[in-house]
Amino acid sequence: MPKIQSNGINLYYEIHGEGQPLLFIHGLGSSARDWELQVEEFAKSYKVITFDLRGHGQSDKPAGPYTMSMFAADTVGLLKALGVESPHVVGLSLGGGVAFQMAVDASLPLKSLVIVNSAPELLVRTFKDRLMVWQRVAIVKLLGMRKMGEVLSKRMFIKPEQEDIRKVFVERWAENDQRAYLNSMRALVGWSVSARIGSIRVPTLVIAAGQDYSPLSAKEAYTAQIPGARLAVISDSRHATPVEHPQEFNQVLQRFLSEHA
């Protein structure tokens, strides 16, 4: 199990292939394993790096609080320890937030930035927003991580033929440490770098599912704030697009990366 120390903790990581470095950052409650449908494809042309964020998978799970700046510093520390300069960075959901934080902090130059089903902030503005956060915390505390996985799996993989994907999702979600998961979620709630994304000067692609949690209009709005950024929409898809539609996702990502290799 390869691990490397970064920002005072040990992070689990994997490297596959050779070429320009391509970092994938997973979402909340996920791990490096959930990029398995991308690793084999992109390792043919790139040095693919996947890892487990603090509090996730096989990485350390220290006591909180966690912050988005902390996640970003962990990630930059990992890359520097591996001798990686100017990587392509792909982030999904929480991982997209970490990628945004890295881009605005500019503590490591990026070759390109790909944001998948994410946003530069998660602010609680409405009663609906507050209810969503409360429900997730309540389910985790009262019913456990497996139940949370069951609830989410039915929202993200709604088709009958996706039963096998749902089962794998639930089993992996049940492995999460409850305390570390809640610490990670609290790092997201109330976080924002929206006022700073206009400073991003690297090639940027936003990939959005047609039926993601947040509306497409929100992605269009923040994409317009990033100089030169483009938006690609994968219809009939929900929050876990790289798992639900790996072939289409990989094609969109491959085209973008080839333009900026």
Give pTM, 2 decimals.
Answer: 0.97
Q: Of 128-137, 163-172, 219-228, where does mean pLDDT reach its minimum?
A: 128-137
In a domain, 185, yes or no: no
In a domain, 168, yes or no: no
Total number of domains constituting the chain? 1
Give pLDDT tens digits for 187-234: 999 999 999 999 999 999 999 999 999 999 999 999 999 999 999 999
Which residue's entry shows tokens 């989410």?
Answer: 152
Give the model's pLDDT for residue 261: 83
Give the model's pLDDT for residue 74: 98
Q: Which residues contact 187 (CB under 8 A, 6 or more apart)?
A: 65, 66, 67, 68, 70, 71
Q: Which residue has the higher pLDDT, 144 or 127?
A: 144
Sign of CA pseudo-dihedral 108, 248, 58, 115: positive
Q: Which residues contact 128 (CB under 8 A, 6 or more apart)?
A: none
In a domain, 107, yes or no: yes
Is it the case that residue 29 has pLDDT exceeding 70?
A: yes
Q: How many helices (H) and strands (E) does the chain have?
A: 10, 10
In a domain, 133, yes or no: no
CATH classification of the domain holding 236: 3.40.50.1820
- CA–CA distances in Å: residue 56 to residues 21, 90, 93: 22, 18, 14
Give the model's pLDDT for residue 1: 67
Domain containing 99 equals 3-121+193-259
In a domain, 140, yes or no: no
In a domain, 160, yes or no: no
In a domain, 226, yes or no: yes
Q: Which residue has the higher pLDDT, 134 or 20?
A: 20
In a domain, 145, yes or no: no
| Token pair listed for 14 | 């994997």
| Token pair listed for 111 | 């070759």
Q: Of 109-118, 131-140, 217-226, 245-254, where does mean pLDDT reach its minimum?
A: 131-140
Give the model's pLDDT for residue 124: 86
Is it the case that residue 249 has pLDDT exceeding 80?
A: yes
On the 0-12 / 13-18 / 19+ scale of CB atoms within 10 A, 1 is exposed
Give the model's pLDDT for residue 30: 97
H helices of 47-91, in order, are 68-81
